[in-house]
């Protein structure tokens, strides 16, 4: 089968593109390199440097489906530049859906997010929980989910939105290198590499066992497996929404401690004030993904996730120094 992977030069898209290639599929990556890296595009994928808003130029009926990762995803930036997020994430997806309609491409897998829920009333979070995003990033992703529901109902698209919790780890040559980085594990690894003096812990007075925020970390390769299953699960006229997480939470301090164990570095921490809009606990119910996709994550061990991310971070640093 032939697939278009938007955002395939970024972290998650490149890992999923790699999995599609390994499963014997043909892959075209469409990415404007706004936050991605051309060297992140897996060997064996065709690469088109371009914007999703121009997807009609490249999309045709030879594509079985689109896997749509392209978006801006920095929560803090979305608060100060919301228009940038509405334009790219919502405007871009609107153009992409129009191009798919025009070309007769009938299947979509979309990267949604736990940020669509906002502050949860109950954990683990199920897909029927209220969606009250606390920042424009989450709001744009929720708007796209609604847009896709309408597209499926009106035009017969078969779609799956996957609401990722905290994605981490690496897969072979593909890993996380956001710039600026805002995710905890790569930030702590930067301390281990001497690129950052200490890790900031934003709030240690939350109602959690050690006072720091608890998050659900999921290995990017488990996430990729779910995308391949979603391609099979997508049914014409239906929009399926599934959370992707392990259903288990780790606190910021537990993550830091795990990085100490994996890297052997002491990792100094500095306690900073809480950040606005940071819920105390975000943990997914993965029941729907298990039941509806047949998904079975196998790489839930936090030390293993950190070890893979650490190996990738060292490889990238060595490449930078050459």
For residue 30, what are its two tokens?
Answer: 């469409």
**Alpha-carbon 48 to chain mean position:** 21
Least distance between ligand NAD and beta carbon 145 (Å): 12
Place of tokens 């029941």: 287
- By beta-carbon proximity to ligand NAD, the closer residue of 144 and 234 is 144
CB of 208 to ligand NAD, least distance (A): 20
How far from 307 is each of 32, 86, 186, 299, CA to CA, in Å? Answer: 30, 36, 11, 11
Task: Point out which residues bind ligand NAD (CB under 6 A).
Answer: 6-7, 9-13, 30-36, 51-52, 69-71, 73, 88, 92, 111, 113, 164, 166-167, 178
Sign of the CA dihedral with 35 first, then 251, 197, and 317 last: negative
| Residue whose CB is less far from ligand NAD, 146 or 209 | 146
Candidates 34, 4, 297, 290; CA nearest to 167 is 297
Which one, of 65, 59, 62, lies nearest residue 30 by Cα?
A: 59
Euclidean distance between the first and final Cα of the chain, in Å?
38
Strand 217-219 versus strand 2-6 pairing type: unpaired
Q: Which residue's CB is nearer to ligand NAD, number 10 or number 133?
A: 10
Nearer to ligand NAD, 11 or 310 (CB): 11
Nearest approach, Cβ of 205 to ligand NAD (angstroms)? Answer: 25
Q: How far apart are CA 298 and CA 226, in angstroms?
A: 11
Query: Which segments within the chain are labelled E, that is strand?
Result: 2-6, 26-31, 46-49, 65-68, 107-113, 158-164, 166-168, 199-202, 214-215, 217-219, 239-244, 250-251, 269-272, 281-282
Instruction: Compute the least distance from the CB of residue 188 to ligand NAD, in Å.
Output: 15
User: Please, which residue, 264 or 317, has the CB nearer to ligand NAD?
Assistant: 317
117 included as an active-site residue: no
Choosing from 137, 164, 171, 217, the catalytic residue is 137
- In the complex, the smallest distance separating the C-beta of residue 310 from ligand NAD, rounded to whole angstroms, is 17
Q: Which is nearer to ligand NAD, 167 or 213 (CB)?
A: 167
Tokens 């995308």 locate to 227
Catalytic residue positions, numbered? 137
């Amino acid at each position: 089968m032939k697939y278009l992977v938007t955002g395939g030069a970024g972290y998650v898209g490149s890992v999923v593109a790699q999995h599609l290639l390994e499963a014997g599929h043909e892959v075209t990556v469409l990415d404007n390199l706004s936050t991605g890296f051309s060297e992140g595009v897996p060997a064996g994928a065709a690469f088109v440097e371009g914007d999703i808003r121009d997807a009609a130029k490249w999309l045709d009926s030879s594509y079985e489906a689109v896997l749509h990762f392209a978006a801006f995803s920095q929560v803090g930036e979305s608060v100060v530049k919301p228009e940038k997020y509405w334009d790219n994430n919502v405007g871009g997806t609107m153009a992409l859906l129009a191009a798919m309609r025009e070309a007769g491409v009938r299947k979509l897998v979309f990267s949604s997010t736990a940020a669509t829920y906002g502050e949860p009333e109950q954990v683990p979070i199920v897909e029927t929980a209220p969606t009250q995003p606390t920042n424009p990033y989450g709001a744009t992703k929720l708007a796209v989910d609604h847009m896709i529901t309408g597209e499926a109902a009106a035009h017969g698209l078969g779609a799956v939105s996957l609401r990722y919790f905290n994605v981490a780890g690496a897969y072979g040559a593909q890993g996380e290198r956001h710039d600026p980085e805002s995710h905890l594990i790569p930030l702590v690894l930067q301390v281990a590499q001497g690129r950052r003096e200490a890790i900031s812990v934003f709030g240690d007075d939350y109602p959690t066992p050690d006072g720091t925020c608890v998050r659900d970390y999921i290995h990017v390769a488990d996430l990729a497996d779910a995308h391949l299953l979603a391609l099979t699960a997508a049914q014409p006229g239906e929009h399926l929404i599934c959370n992707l997480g392990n259903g288990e939470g780790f606190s910021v301090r537990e993550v830091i401690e795990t990085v100490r164990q994996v890297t052997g570095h002491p990792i100094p921490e500095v306690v900073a004030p809480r950040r606005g809009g940071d819920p105390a606990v975000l943990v997914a119910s993965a029941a729907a993904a298990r039941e509806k996709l047949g998904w079975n994550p196998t790489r839930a061990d936090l030390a293993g996730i950190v070890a893979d991310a650490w190996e990738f971070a060292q490889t990238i640093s060595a490449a930078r120094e050459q």
